[in-house]
Amino acid sequence: MSEALANGITRYTLYSLRDKGIIEQITRGVYRLTELPPISNPDLVTVSLRFPNSVVCLISALAYHNITTQIPHIVTIAVPRESRVPVLEYPPVQAYRFSNETYNVGIEKHVIDGVSIKIYTPEKTLADCFKFRNKIGMDVAIEALKLYKSSKKINLEKLFEYAEVCRVKKIMMPYLEVTI
């Protein structure tokens, strides 16, 4: 909606195009042409468009990187500690507040269906999973660590760096020694 308004398209015109079936409303303020192919990951695209300051984290990031068997029923995002927690009717969103130090490290930008989406790296996501182990479950964190090892793209240096930043290195070490 904001992009359309900035380009001189009025709300009336936008709603008229929607009513005629030329565009479809994905969620409040997010529209797309109906003739385009389906969005490959509509939940992540919608959340990233609505909340550009957020970063996909925890279970949603694990699923994106294929290092979990969990199926995310909500989109988990990180926001800076002092920012407003996003609320969205659909898709359901769970926001976690991160300190500036932990929020700003390990962010990758991926383009999905022409939309830039910020997602934490697999190593940062693993460190976050151990940090939030009481909320997501220790079994999820351990499983992700095992699947990360089997992916053959292990970067221990980065994993230790993010574990240090998230202050979970001592907690992760026994599992790393057994798993990796």
For the chain, the domain total comes to 2
pLDDT at residue 110, as a whole number: 92
Residue 9's domain comprises 1-36
Q: 11 and 68: one domain?
A: no
Each residue's pLDDT tens digit, 103-142: 999 999 999 877 889 999 999 999 999 999 999 999 999 9
Q: 66 and 98: one domain?
A: yes
Angular region, 29: left φ>0, alpha ψ -120 to 50, beta rest:
left
CA-CA-CA-CA torsion for 121, 125, 126, 127, nearest 10 degrees?
110
Q: 156 and 126: one domain?
A: yes
**22 is written with which tokens?**
């030329």
How remote is the C-alpha of 121 from its chain's centroid?
10
Residue pair 22/34 in contact (Cβ under 8 Å)? The answer is yes
Q: 61 and 144: one domain?
A: yes
- CATH of residue 80's domain is 3.30.460
pLDDT at residue 179, as a whole number: 64
pLDDT at residue 102, as a whole number: 92
CA distance 57 to 104: 12
Walk along the chain (180 residues) in steps of 10 and give the mean pLDDT of each run: 79 83 75 72 82 91 91 90 78 89 93 88 94 93 89 86 92 79
**85 is written with which tokens?**
């927690």
Q: 131 and 94: one domain?
A: yes
Q: 93 and 107: one domain?
A: yes
Q: 22 and 91: one domain?
A: no
Closest CA to 54 of 74, 29, 84: 84
Q: 25 and 41: one domain?
A: no
Q: 23 and 76: one domain?
A: no
CB within 8 A of 104, min separation 6: which ones? none
pLDDT at residue 40, as a whole number: 66
Q: 61 and 26: one domain?
A: no
